[in-house]
Structure 1
Amino acid sequence: MIEFRGAGPAEFAERLDTVIGIYTAAMRPPAEQIAGRTTIMRNHGTYPYFQCYFAELHDSLRTASPLVVGFAYGFRGAPGQWWHEVVLRALRERAGDEAAEAWMGHAFELAEIHVHPDYQGKGIGRAMITTLCAGRPERTAVLSTHDRPTAARHLYASMGFTDLLTGFVFPGGHEAYAIAARPLPLPPPSA
């Protein structure tokens, strides 16, 4: 049975090795990027209104602690945060100040959503997003994802996320991303 358990910044930092392990299995980044990603994630845990959920497998055969098979976290976007600033500037340039403010002015930024490949395709990602966004006071939820037809891209679209930017390359990067958003609250899981 999968259960979702909230974790604050301190526990998130303590379990960063587990988080990075799941991230690495799911995303398969080049080995030289792991140290930088670890630093970025550790820093994210210090952001205002940080919230994290772990997807934990509980079963009768496990006598030790539950197995973490996924995680999702986010925080309120704010001036001074690199991703927030880069996306806000690009959105202003492409869509204007009013649209940028509407989407990014009071946004919950879904920074990372990952499920270990052995557990993908079972609704865990959708449930983590729904759980993470439940009760959030922000006006919108925003995220970035690879701009290609992936399972994640399909999931976000099925949850009502719409593209704000496509073919977007972050400074210093080379991969194209889509920036997607939707108004909050999310509908209940049965909707």
Structure 2
Amino acid sequence: MIEFRGGGPVEFGERLDTVMDIYTAAMRPPPEQITGRTTIMRNHATYPRFQCYFAELREISDMSLGARPAPRVVGFAYGFHGAPGQWWHDVVHRALEDRAGREAADAWLGDAFELAEIHVHPDHQGKGIGRAMITTLCAGRPERSAVLSTHDRPTAARHLYAAMGFTDLLSRYVFPGGYEEYAIVGRPLPLT
């Protein structure tokens, strides 16, 4: 049975090793990127209105014994209020302004919930966990839009975001210093 448990910056920091294990299993980044990614995630927890959810697996067979088993985290998702001065926010706002104009950039990013990371361990993908985490994470958010970046190729994640009503704001976007193409997607909040 999967349960979703919310957490703030402190709990996220306490579970950062577990978070990184899931991230590594799901994304398979080069080993030399792990330290930098860990620092970025730790820093994200300091951003305004940071919120995370953990997808926890509880074995039903263990529950029948009367004891509540310790959960195993199989996924996580987090986001925060995007604001000027945050790297992702600033580079995406600038790129969107260049391609679509300042009004469009302000409309999407002026009051946005930035979904920074959404990952499910590969052993548990395809079971609706990612969708449920996004829905839970976005519920009740005060921002007017939700935005995120994802690899710009036909992945399960890209399909999920489209199915949830996210539309392309930028496609084939390469972040400064990078080489991979990303899609920047957004949708109005609340999710329906």
Which residue in the other structure is 1:165 paired with? 170
The amino acid of 1:124's aligned partner reads: I
1:40-71 residue CA offsets vs partner (Å, 9 max, x unmatched): 00000010100000000012345642000000
1:83-108 residue CA offsets vs partner (Å, 9 max, x unmatched): 00000000000000110111000000
Task: Provide the alpha-carbon RMSD of the alignment.
Answer: 0.8
The amino acid of 1:29's aligned partner reads: P
1:144 counterpart SS class: strand
Report matched runs for 1:43-122 at 5 Å. 43-62=43-62, 64-122=69-127
Counterparts of 2:108 and 2:155, CA distance in 1? 24
* % same residue: 80
Counterparts of 1:110 and 1:75, CA distance in 2? 7
- Please tell me whether residue 10 in structure 1 is matched to residue 15 in structure 2: no
1:179 counterpart SS class: strand
Counterparts of 2:48 and 2:69, CA distance in 1? 33
Counterparts of 1:75 and 1:38, CA distance in 2? 17
The amino acid of 2:60's aligned partner reads: S
Mean Cα deviation higher: 41-50 or 56-65: 56-65
Counterparts of 1:171 and 1:158, CA distance in 2? 29
Counterparts of 2:61 and 2:23, CA distance in 1? 25
Q: 1:139 aligns with which of 138, 144, 167?
A: 144
Which residue in the other structure is 2:65 paired with? none
Which residue in the other structure is 1:176 paired with? 181
The amino acid of 2:56's aligned partner reads: E
What is the TM-score normalised by the length of structure 2? Answer: 0.96
What is the TM-score normalised by the length of structure 1? Answer: 0.96
- Please tell me whether residue 128 in structure 1 is matched to residue 133 in structure 2: yes
The amino acid of 1:73's aligned partner reads: Y
Aligned length: 187
